[in-house]
Amino acid sequence: MKQICVIGLGYIGLPTAIIFANHGFQVHGMDVNEEVVQQLNHKQLHIEEPGLQEALADVVDSGHLTFTTQPVEADVFIIAVPSPITEDKTANLDYVRSATESIVPYVQSGSLVVLESTVPPRTVEDVMLPVLEQTGLSIGSELYVAHSPERVIPGKIFKELEANDRIVGGISEESAKRTKDIYQTFVQGDIHLTDATTAEMVKVMENTYRDVNIAFANELAKMSEEIGINVWEAIRLANYHPRVNIHQPGPGVGGHCIAVDPWFLAEQQPDIARMITLARTTNDDMPVFTADKIWQIVHEDYQVAQPKVALLGLSFKGNVDDMRESPSLKVMEHLNQIRMNYTVYDPHIADIRVPHQVTDRHDAIAGADIVVVLTDHDQFQTYNPAEIGEMMKHKIVLDTKNCLPEADWRAAGFDFIRLGDTKNR
């Protein structure tokens, strides 16, 4: 099984295609976005990921990786397309369904179809298999199907694709075995076999666990502000207990997994998934809490009539350009609703993607009354507070990610405010 066709060339599909090509497979990448395909054929990236540019150039130059907007015949088809949620918090599986339909004319007897997208349990059984039955091939004996969800984070995708354990769920034992065989060519971690629905459930469980834990941390942060302690210090001390691992609070939860996947469970079993729904709602409310906190600081504490807010960070996590479900977008949305003037800057995003965005740090901060850190980019930690203060009307900084060196900012004359911390204010 040497020929692989990867459907979807985003944050997961493209690195997956590259790593298979780098391990001797002949890989064809397919995406419906013509601009993306054209860029990749010219060895130009549309996403940011350390090491991706060099790896892309190597496999394209070697001839092991090609790109078009149509699938091709292959031994293995890997589907890595988005599985977003709709406005009413239900799963949109149109991309998975369309991707499956697109490969039907190219599937042959003996082909393997692997879904990597994170999806609600039973998506393989209820969405993909009815489409694949149109091939006329016997599912499980002539056409093999499996789910093997990615378990990586942006910024460390290549490292984690190789190092992390992998879950493989087949619709038959042979499907799981064949899937393990191809991933074993580069995966250094253990590969655990199960059925497709269990594999789907495992991935959603992993991200829901983290979402519930973060919601707990966010509630602790709100409580700590009322009690008069530093929640970051309290969490650090609590985590010295050998069986405690409390996550970190923040202005909300973003990304393509944690902010989305718990809704897959809440949608399927709303009467049972009450804690899951509450946690998701808690985290979804944090951007509003953050925006209201900004308003309270500048209007009530400092009584600034027409304040300017400088937001630092658009991506959902540090040191990447990924804006999917970013809390920053929701903070901005609420600032619009309460009619606050703001600019937003992100050193990892050079192109203009949203209103009020600027591509120069000076333009964002000049004349601002408060700087608000929404993303923990390493670059923000290196800023000179004295230099920043000279650009501003008022020296106020709100650190929602606990990433700035507090002593340096206080020494430069800033009122240093941290989410979840009134002990030091």
Cβ-contact 74, 5 below 8 angstroms: yes
Closest CA to 53 of 39, 68, 67: 39
d(CA 376, CA 416): 16
Closest CA to 29 of 87, 55, 68, 83: 68
d(CA 144, CA 239): 44
Cβ-contact 139, 171 below 8 angstroms: yes
Residue 165 region by backbone torsions, left for phi larger than 0, else alpha for psi between -120 and 50, else beta: beta
Question: Is 203 an annotated catalytic residue?
Answer: yes
- Residue in 5, 43, 159, 203 annotated catalytic: 203
Helix or strand holding residue 337 (H, E)? helix 327-337
Cβ-contact 179, 149 below 8 angstroms: no
Question: Is 257 an annotated catalytic residue?
Answer: yes
Cβ-contact 349, 321 below 8 angstroms: yes
Helix or strand holding residue 166 (H, E)? strand 166-170
Give the burial string for 50-73 (b: 16+ CB within 10 Å, else e).
eebeebbeebbeeebbbbeeebee
- Residue in 257, 317, 330, 401 annotated catalytic: 257
Strand locations in 282-409 (E): 308-312, 341-345, 357-358, 370-373, 396-399
SS3 230: strand
What is the set of active-site residues? 203, 257
